[in-house]
């Protein structure tokens, strides 16, 4: 190392050197992962789309407090559009029933949009429930298996489970030489049964007055299913054999 190099290095903070070192390590790991056959995309090969639903919620509906049972249109200052919760709920959510005939892995691709001039706090939401043995619907665990992006006025407001992206976070997967698919992303494992996808409108809530409002919004959801034992038979570049990395939560 020459004298100039020594002088420059002497002026570089140690944390900067460490940061560069860490970044180089991460880049090296990413290249290695790619060479090991891992690929990222929204739709995993061999998967099936069980549900493709679009929900439009054009109305703005509000209730002044928790204790008030009557809801109104937001612009109805004279409160002539009185309606009950059952009527409101029918306007601010959409259900789509579907059936799973054999066990497999599930994840949801969810995109929501709210106009620029709409003030709100909570993005449109999505969930899955299942019909229990008693015939009642119960919430099913999804966790990080919702790959979502929320737009406000055409700009990305949030993404999940990975933040800071320009769209729904893709899944990382690998196709093994025998055609089986390994997934290195959050998915959930569901058994056979009756299921229901529910999409709910965007909301805002006033903590001071307990006023709750459902605001105009739009959402699209796809339920992607990968049956157990799926083998990809299409032509593909067979990667090197790798280790199986699953992060699966059982839905019982």
Backbone angles phi, psi at 92, to 5 degrees: -110, 10
What mean pLDDT comes out for the span 115-125? 95
Is residue 243's pLDDT more than 70? no
pLDDT of residue 207: 82
pLDDT per position as a tens digit, 90-114: 999 999 999 999 999 999 999 999 9
pLDDT of residue 147: 96
pLDDT of residue 10: 45
What mean pLDDT comes out for the span 49-68? 92
Strand (E) or helix (H) holding 140:
strand 137-140
Is residue 38's pLDDT more than 80? yes
- pLDDT averaged over every residue in the chain: 83
Is residue 242's pLDDT more than 80? no
Kindly tell me the burial class for residue 159, based on how many C-beta atoms sit within 10 Å of its own C-beta (0-12, 13-18, 19 or more). middle
pLDDT of residue 211: 87
Measured in Å, how far apart are the chain's first and last C-alpha atoms? 63
Percent of the chain residues topping a pLDDT of 70: 78
pLDDT of residue 235: 53
CB 45 within 8 A of CB 231: no
pLDDT of residue 161: 93
pLDDT of residue 65: 78
Q: Which residues are paired to 126 by β-bridges?
A: 199
Per-residue pLDDT band for 26 (boundaries 50, 70, 90) equals very low
Q: Peptide bond preceding 89: is omega within 30 degrees of 0, i.e. cis?
A: no
pLDDT per position as a tens digit, 161-217: 999 999 999 999 999 888 999 999 999 999 999 999 999 999 999 888 788 999 999
pLDDT of residue 234: 56
pLDDT of residue 79: 87
Is residue 132's pLDDT more than 90? yes
Is residue 246's pLDDT more than 50? no
3 state SS of 7: helix
């Amino acid at each position: 190392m020459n004298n100039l190099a020594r002088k420059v290095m002497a002026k570089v903070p140690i944390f900067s050197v460490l940061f560069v070192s860490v970044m180089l390590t991460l880049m090296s790991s990413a290249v290695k992962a790619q060479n090991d056959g891992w690929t990222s995309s929204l739709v995993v090969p061999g998967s099936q789309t069980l549900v493709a639903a679009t929900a439009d919620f054009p109305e703005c509906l509000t209730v002044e407090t928790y204790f008030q049972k009557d809801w109104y249109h937001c612009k109805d200052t004279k409160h002539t559009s009185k309606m009950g919760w059952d009527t409101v709920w029918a306007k601010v959510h959409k259900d789509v029933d579907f059936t799973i005939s054999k066990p497999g892995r599930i994840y949801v691709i969810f995109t929501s949009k709210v106009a620029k001039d709409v003030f709100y706090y909570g993005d449109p939401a999505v969930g899955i429930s299942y019909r229990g043995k008693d015939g009642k619907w119960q919430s099913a665990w999804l966790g990080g298996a919702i790959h979502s992006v929320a737009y406000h006025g055409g700009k990305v407001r949030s993404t999940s489970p990975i933040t800071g992206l320009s769209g729904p976070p893709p899944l990382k997967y690998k196709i093994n030489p025998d055609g089986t698919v390994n997934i290195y992303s959050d998915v959930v494992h569901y058994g056979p049964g009756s299921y229901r996808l529910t999409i709910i409108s965007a909301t805002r809530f006033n903590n001071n007055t307990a006023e709750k409002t459902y605001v105009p919004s739009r959402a699209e959801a796809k339920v992607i299913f990968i049956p157990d034992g799926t083998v990809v038979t299409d032509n593909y570049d067979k990667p090197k054999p790798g280790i199986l990395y699953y992060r699966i939560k059982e839905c019982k």
